Amino acid sequence: MKPKLLIADDHTLFNEGVKQLISDHYNIVGQVFDGKDVLMMVMVTRPDVILLDINLPSINGFDLATELRKAFETIKIIFVSMYTEPRFIEHSKQLKVDGYLLKNSTKEELILGIDSVLNGGNYYDPKLNQLRQNLHHDDFFVKQFSLTPREIEIIRMIKNGMNTTEIAEKLFLGLETVKTHRKNIYYKLSITKSTELIKFALENNI
């Protein structure tokens, strides 16, 4: 019996392409295109492995991996991503994700990685150690993961219309501390105006 695989990626062509590439080797039990649908589909299909994109709409792959680890202890999780960011790789290992493959992998590399994980091992694409690590430094999704929890909290407050004084009172912080946080946020996101920040927050579900 073929191992059961679930593919979760919001890019339809890539999702379909992976299915076509590996359907001879595995039983593709489902395809998901939005993060909010992943947990339900896993519950329904009970795959052996989920091929999971990191940058999904609604819920990102890191948060999904955390929930999957809690709810489905035996499922194997393999990230299939374009990102080569060192902190993404490290975070994946901390979450005990079983594998990390790149989207430019060949069919043979995909199958090698999936089979290695199915056989009880971990498989992180060897190319991750050879590629330049700052290819996506201007990517909004990458920028989001450079933000601290406090900075994300402040972004949410700004998005909700709160000014610096109101944020300081709400968080029991000094005005200068909040101003410093805002300055750091603007620097990390390469923006200069609150309208740009609100747009970023909306686009990235913050």
Q: Which pLDDT tens digit goes with each residue over 44-58?
A: 999 999 999 998 888
Non-local (6+) Cβ contacts of 201 within 8 A are 155, 156, 158, 159
What's the CA gap between 28 and 31, in Å, rounded?
8
Spell out where 33-125 has E strands: 49-52, 76-81, 99-102, 123-124
Residue with tokens 């949410």: 156
Q: What is the 8-class DSSP label of residue 139?
A: -
Sign, CA dihedral 4-75-53-59, equals positive
Per-residue model confidence as pLDDT tens for the chain (206 residues): 899 999 999 999 999 999 999 999 999 999 999 999 999 999 999 999 999 999 888 888 998 999 999 999 899 999 999 888 887 888 899 999 999 999 999 999 999 999 999 999 999 998 887 655 555 455 556 666 677 888 889 999 999 999 999 999 999 988 888 998 888 888 778 788 888 889 888 877 78
